[in-house]
Amino acid sequence: MRQADALRRRSANEIDWDNVAEEIESVGNSEANELESRYEILLAHLLKWQHQPTGRGASWQITINEQRRRIVRWLEKTPGLKSRRDKLFGEAYAGARAAAAIETGIDLAIFPDTNPFTLAQVMDDSFWPEA
- Quick: pLDDT tens for 3-52: 667 777 887 777 777 776 676 665 666 788 999 999 999 999 999 999 99
Report yes or no on 8 lying in a domain.
Answer: no
Report yes or no on 111 lying in a domain.
Answer: yes
Q: Which of 22-26, 49-53, 75-79, 84-88 has the lowest mean pLDDT?
A: 22-26
Report yes or no on 70 lying in a domain.
Answer: yes
Tallying the residues shown for the chain, one arrives at 131
Report yes or no on 7 lying in a domain.
Answer: no
Report yes or no on 87 lying in a domain.
Answer: yes
Cite the DSSP H helix spans in 52-124.
Answer: 58-77, 85-104, 119-122
Q: How many domains does the chain have?
A: 1
Report yes or no on 2 lying in a domain.
Answer: no
Instruction: Report the Cα 49 to chain-centroid distance in Å.
Output: 18
- Residue 109 CB-density burial (10 A; 0-12 exposed, 13-18 middle, 19+ buried): exposed
**Can you tell me the distance from the alpha carbon of 81 to that of 27, in angstroms, rounded to the nearest whole number?**
12
Range of the domain at 112: 31-122
